[in-house]
Amino acid sequence: MTNRHLVIVLGDQLDLEASAFDGFDPAQDCVWMAEVAQESTHVPSAKPRIALFLSAMRHFAQALRERQWPLAYTRLDDKGNCGWLAGELRLAIARLQPAALVMTAPGDWRVLQSLREVAADCGLPLDIRDDRHFFSTVREFAEHAKGRKQLRLEYWYRALRQKHGILMDDGQPAGGQWNFDADNREAFGKTGPAGLRAPLRFEPDATTREVLALVGSRFADHAGALESFGWPVTRAQALQALEDFIAHRLPLFGRFEDAMWAGEPWLYHSQLSAAMNLKLLTACEVVQAAEHAWRTGSAPIEAVEGFIRQILGWREYVRGIYWTQMPSYLERNALQAQEPLPEFFWTGDTDMACLRDALTQTLTHGYAHHIQRLMVTGLYLLLRGVKPQEAHAWYLSVYVDAVEWVELPNTLGMSQYGDGGLMASKPYIASGKYIQRMGNHCKGCRYDPAQATGPTACPYTTLYWDFLMRHETLLASNPRMGMQVRNLARLTPDKREAIRAQAQRLTPE
């Protein structure tokens, strides 16, 4: 069928305009895609995540067929599917005999190595092209990082805004400031979020229903639920989801970016990460849509800058960290944390109201917003001393937007301080009082965030003080931790002992 290029398309590369297709000639090239069990089991992926990837892949395959582009596609349930990506690629090469392999740079170091190995073994050139879904290349990030001991978001973000003219007016930051973070930390107050409108949900079509049935039976023992699956699985749906966010939630995105509310998983967040990570949307079109909303007066600068900072800033920055630090980054464990992941992270079965809410929605939808990931689930694992590699495997499994290039730096670096401060200038630690301030969970909880010891002590508060004690020497040398460490001095030896004993009762369960 083909003897020129076999164009490799992975499950997170679903863009007809991808660089891999530059120069594609249907007369002599063929696209290759494969659904393999290994990608759902190397970490035990939760059902919503598997379903999203498979459904989006099948819809993309359909779009390729409509273009009448030659496609070699292996389905998960095809007879003879060997179950792993490299193995399937070898079979396709043997069958199709291409002269070269072409692909857009993948998002996962492990996958890149295995595909390189196949190409080398088969004696084929592998042409890896830049991923145009990002504003920057890894080479640019590496250049920016050269000679810096610590990598901080702010300078990278400003450089990208200037280079790409995003939110810039005559060379100056739009609205007169680079950063509106100070305006973006509000909690909801007693009455909670006003005028919430549920984000668009896409009713599963026949292709998605088939995938849901397959995932339900083939991965029956994996965590997570499929009943409420409604993620965008095509580019057209992703564009609708973008439009819906810009019109209805962006205006309040900034103010309440860090806020939480019991039983409200979506709030004013975009839920666009999965669509962007699967490449159904480009980061550029999302950023441009947000900037347009500000320029046309439909969203305030605080919201728009806050939102753009997440994408042009954080998203580009964590990608740079990942590719410049791998593979050793995966092994880092600066705090020498060795506890296993608590079993209830796979079920949500805990009496901590904030954590139960975050885990339940995670398992139901494959989604939690950033502050829940960082300051509820992540904070709990950090305080409890869970091994960062166990935390990483969990985050990579459960979220529909989880791809290693973005998940690993967020988990191991930002949330678990496993890289010892490369990404975050201090560990993100707080007691239960932070969670109390940012939402309403504590009201419905059997624990009291003000108590570190005793029968109603909030586990976050107990573990917070215990964490400070465990790492006192290390933290004392961090200028940004000074106040928190000094507060330890107020604890009497008896109180310290009581906290330590209570913390030990919390681990293991």
- List residues near ligand SF4 by CB under 6 A: 352-354, 432, 435-436, 441-442, 445, 447, 449, 458-460
Closer CB to ligand SF4, 140 or 448, in the complex: 448
Token pair for residue 121? 């073994």
Closer CB to ligand SF4, 329 or 380, in the complex: 380
Binding test (CB under 6 A) with ligand FAD, winner from 19, 136, 277, 364:
277
Q: Which stretch binds ligand FAD (CB under 6 A): 409-417, 430-438, 473-481, 488-496?
A: 409-417
Q: How far apart are CA 204 and CA 214, in angstroms?
A: 14
Does residue 383 contact residue 421 with C-beta atoms inside 8 Å? no
Does residue 245 contact residue 266 with C-beta atoms inside 8 Å? no
Is 136 a binding residue for ligand FAD by CB under 6 A? The answer is: no
Single-letter amino acid code for the residue at 391: A
Residue 481 contact partner, candidates ligand SF4, ligand FAD, none, CB within 5 to 8 A by sort of partner = none
Closer CB to ligand SF4, 156 or 447, in the complex: 447
In the shown chain, the binding pattern of residues 302 to 341 toward ligand FAD, with x for contact by CB under 6 A and - for none, equals -----x--xx--xx--x-----------------------
Residue 103 has, within 13 A of its CA and on its CB side, a CA count of 22
Token pair for residue 145? 């990082």
- The DSSP bridge pattern shows strands 126-129 and 168-169 to be unpaired
Q: Which stretch binds ligand FAD (CB under 6 A): 25-33, 104-112, 265-273, 345-353?
A: 265-273
Q: Measure CA 306 to chain center.
A: 17
Residue 272 contact partner, candidates ligand SF4, ligand FAD, none, CB within 5 to 8 A by sort of partner = ligand FAD
Length reported for the chain: 509
Binding test (CB under 6 A) with ligand FAD, winner from 10, 280, 293, 414:
414
Q: How far apart are CA 436 and CA 288, in angstroms?
A: 35
Count, residues near ligand FAD per rule CB under 6 A: 28
The DSSP-derived string for 230-276 is ----SHHHHHHHHHHHHHHTHHHHTTTTT---TT-S-TT----HHHH
Residue 204 contact partner, candidates ligand SF4, ligand FAD, none, CB within 5 to 8 A by sort of partner = none
Residue 315 contact partner, candidates ligand SF4, ligand FAD, none, CB within 5 to 8 A by sort of partner = ligand FAD
Closer CB to ligand SF4, 115 or 376, in the complex: 376
Token pair for residue 263? 């039983």
Is 271 a binding residue for ligand FAD by CB under 6 A? The answer is: yes
Residue 401 contact partner, candidates ligand FAD, ligand SF4, none, CB within 5 to 8 A by sort of partner = ligand FAD
Residue 436 contact partner, candidates ligand SF4, ligand FAD, none, CB within 5 to 8 A by sort of partner = ligand SF4
CA dihedral 502, 442, 342, 365 (to 10 degrees): 180
Closer CB to ligand SF4, 389 or 436, in the complex: 436
Residue 279 contact partner, candidates ligand SF4, ligand FAD, none, CB within 5 to 8 A by sort of partner = none
Binding test (CB under 6 A) with ligand FAD, winner from 207, 208, 325, 411:
411
Token pair for residue 410? 């967020």
- The DSSP bridge pattern shows strands 5-8 and 100-104 to be parallel
- 505 burial (CB, 10 Å; 0-12 / 13-18 / 19+) is exposed
Closer CB to ligand FAD, 395 or 464, in the complex: 395
SS3 460: helix
Residue labelled with tokens 């290390």: 474
Residues 363-392 that bind ligand FAD (CB under 6 A): 369-370, 373-374, 378
The DSSP-derived string for 131-183 is -TTSSS-HHHHHHHHTT-SS--HHHHHHHHHHHHTTTEETTEEGGG-S--GGG
Closer CB to ligand FAD, 81 or 288, in the complex: 288
Closer CB to ligand FAD, 101 or 290, in the complex: 290
Q: How far apart are CA 122 and CA 52, in angstroms?
A: 32
Residue 392 contact partner, candidates ligand FAD, ligand SF4, none, CB within 5 to 8 A by sort of partner = none
User: Among 361, 360, 362, 353, which Cα is nearest to 397's?
Assistant: 362
Residues in touch with ligand FAD (CB under 6 A): 269-273, 276-277, 307, 310-311, 314-315, 318, 369-370, 373-374, 378, 395, 399, 401-402, 406-407, 410-411, 414-415
